[in-house]
Amino acid sequence: MLDHFQKYPQMLSGKVDPIFSKDTKDKRWKDLTSALNAEGTGPAKSIGAWRKTFKDWKCYVRKKAGRIALHQKQTGGGLPSKEALTVNEEKLLAAIGQVAAHGQKS
């Protein structure tokens, strides 16, 4: 899934423009759905179900990265956070941007 989004980064935002039209976006999701369902490592899902799966995972990773960042900003004296991002979560965060997890600096 991550490879597909790295190949087509416009899919991460879901926004359409003259170059990345709705038809193009729908075709990319259809291609990704076919590839993921062909792997056979889990249940076959519809395009909508894979979109929801990705949206949920993206939300989870942003929240997890935010919790880790908040823990690192706290004053010392406590134990380090036991929570850490996996390699795939780090790749996703790099693709969607740090601002998505940590917010914009004022």
How far is it, in rounded angstroms, from Cα 42 to Cα 79?
37
Secondary structure E strands in the chain: none
Q: Tokens 């894979």 appear where?
A: 50
Q: In a structure prediction context, what are the per-residue pLDDT tens digits for the chain, which is 106 residues long?
A: 888 888 888 888 878 888 889 999 999 999 999 999 999 888 999 999 999 999 999 999 999 999 998 888 887 767 778 899 999 999 999 988 865 555 555 5
Boundaries of every domain in the chain: 1-103
Rounded Cα distance between 38 and 82, Å, is: 35
Would the pTM of this model clear 0.85, i.e. be above it? no
